[in-house]
Amino acid sequence: MPHSEATPLAGQLMPVRSRRLVRLGPVTVDIRSNEPDFKGFRFFSDSFDVDPLEFGDAGPDFTLSFCNLGLDGPWSRQELARERDQSYRGGRMSAGYYLTDHFGKPAYLMTRGRHTWFFAEDFEPILWPYAIKSLLTLYSIERGLLHLKAAGIEMNGQGALLVGRGGSGKTVLMHQLCRSGARHLSNTHTLVEDQKLIGIRTALRVRVDRFFGPVIAARGLSSNVKAAEYTADPTRDLEWPSAREAPLRNVCLVDYRGPQHCVIQEIGRDVVFGYMEQFSLAVNVYGLKDDVLDLMAGDVTRFSNEMARMKTHLRTLIQQSRCYYLSCDAADPENVAAISALLGSAT
């Protein structure tokens, strides 16, 4: 029998029919839903489930409760609108706009300390597109870390970031490198402490192609949020060896432009910084600046200082790394061998 938890709505309870405790790198999250089989759990690598005893007295870093408005009602829309967060994101969600290109029916966001409730009819465009991105950014701000949209690998004790916009070939390159001696740190989100990469391994999106098509068919992988994308567990489905953290040594700007175009060369650090500020800094690439400003109670000085800290941290880690531009066919073993030699070199 499910237990029930009090919601922020006066006198109303939400039956908790499904629950999962997950670890995202150093971040622990308790995810609950009134849905019997919460589909959002498939986005998390099962190799990073958490034993409740690990929480100890402190409990998880965050708790997320997802209440399906089609169950256990009636839910008063008027009360939901009244009790929702009076923040920028709370207003946008109540209008059906969640984050970037994710939208749907009105949803109601309610934050009470470290516990956040989402009242909606569909959580596919909310859980991963917004909730996880925002809590990782919040965690990084609280601890002076840097949250990047970047893949991470470790090779010969050295960490490397793979950065690039969507469709630039990062996942395919990482797949080939992990089959050639590299260890997987993270596929989308990476936290950086000083110059150390902290891996956040989760399920990742793959498409039907010559690299992942056979795995999708053989494993019967489930669909992802967007059409023609599937969810794969890096450890179980792709059999990538893994690592938890590594000192950053290399930054790779991945920019695949077709099999006839092959460039593997060093690139200027100022170029890499300008690119990563827009395509890797989580606050910018995910459109979370309003959330950060609301987190700081609208204090523009605190907000500006935090943004300056992020940019300084980003510039510092780039200045202390070797930077490469990679635009080549990762299906070619010679290209993969050349990149592996660069990333595994001690000099």
Instruction: Render pLDDT for 284-331 as a digit per residue (tens, 0 to 9).
Output: 999 999 999 999 999 999 999 999 999 999 999 999 999 999 999 988
Q: So what's the pLDDT on residue 224?
A: 64
Work out the pLDDT band at 343, boundaries 50, 70, 90: very high
Cα 245 to Cα 263: distance, rounded to the nearest angstrom: 29
Average pLDDT, the chain: 90
Q: Which of 60-64, 141-145, 165-169, 191-195 has the lowest mean pLDDT?
A: 165-169
Structure confidence at residue 46 (pLDDT): 65
Q: Is the pLDDT of residue 180 over 80?
A: yes
What is the pLDDT at residue 208? 79
End-to-end CA distance of the chain: 60
Is residue 277 helix, strand or coil? helix
CB contact at 8 A, 65 and 19: no
Give, in order, the Cα–Cα distances in Å from 11 to each of 7, 35, 110: 8, 20, 16
Q: Mean pLDDT, to the nearest integer, of 263-280? A: 96
pLDDT tops 90 at residue 238: no
Assess whether pLDDT exceeds 80 at residue 181: yes
Query: Is residue 214 reached through a cis peptide bond, with omega within 30 degrees of 0 on the bond before it?
Result: no
Return residue ranges of the chain for CATH 3.90.228.20. 146-201+242-344
The per-residue pLDDT for 103 is 87
The 10 Å CB-count burial string (b at 16+, else e) for 47-86 is ebebeeeeeeeeebbbbbbbbbbeeeeebeeeebeebbbe
CA-closest candidate to residue 139, choices 312, 291, 299, 311: 291
Mean pLDDT of 38-51: 77
| 218 band by pLDDT with thresholds 50, 70 and 90 | confident
Q: How many CB atoms lie within 10 A of CB 4?
A: 14
Nearest to 189 by CA among 126, 115, 137: 137
Domain 146-201+242-344 belongs to what topology? Phosphoenolpyruvate Carboxykinase; domain 3 (3.90.228)
Query: Would you say 35 and 18 are in contact if contact means Cβ atoms under 8 Å apart?
Result: yes
